[in-house]
Chain A
Amino acid sequence: MNWRVLTVSGYLVVLVSAILLMIASHLPSSTIPTFGSLMSRIMRTRSGRIAVLVGWLWLGMHFFAL
Chain B
Amino acid sequence: MAAAGSPRPPGSTTPTSGAVTRTTPPATSAALAVLRSPVTWILFLAGFFDGISDNWVHALVLWAAAYVVARDVARRARGIAPPTATVMFSGSGPRRPGLLALVAAAAVTYAVVAGSFDRYTWPITAAVVLPGVLVLAVAWPGPLWHRPVPARPRTLGTALWATVFVAAGLWELTALLMQPTLQGGSYSHPTISYLMDTVLSHQVGRSVTLLVWIALGAFLLTRITDSGADPVDGEEGER
B-binding residues in A (CB < 8 A): 2-4, 7-8, 10-11, 14, 17-18, 21, 25, 30-33, 35-66
Contacts and interface: CB of A to CB of B under 8 A. Distances in A.
Contact of A46 (B140, B167, B175): B140
B121 interface: yes
5 contacts: A21-B164, A53-B220, A58-B62, A61-B129, A64-B124
A14 B128 contact: no
Question: What is the interface of chain B mostly: helix, strand, loop, or mixed?
Answer: helix
A32 to B, nearest CB: 4
B120 A38 contact: no
Nearest to A54: B65
A52 B216 CA distance: 11
Contacts of A11: 168, 171, 192, 195
Given A45-B227, A47-B72, A64 B128 contact: yes
Interface residues of B, number: 81
Contacts of A62: 50, 55, 58, 193
A63 to B, nearest CB: 6
Given A2-B188, A41-B150, A65-B120, A58 B46 contact: yes
Interface of B: 37, 39-40, 42-43, 46, 50, 55, 57-58, 61-62, 65, 68-69, 72-73, 82, 85, 119-122, 124-125, 127-129, 132-133, 135-136, 139-140, 147, 149-150, 152-154, 156-158, 160-161, 164, 167-168, 171, 175, 178, 187-190, 192-193, 195-196, 200, 206, 209-210, 213, 216-217, 219-221, 223-228, 230, 232-233, 235, 237-238
Contacts of A54: 43, 61-62, 65, 136
A51 B121 contact: no
A56 to B, nearest CB: 5
Contact of A60 (B50, B128, B228, B230): B128
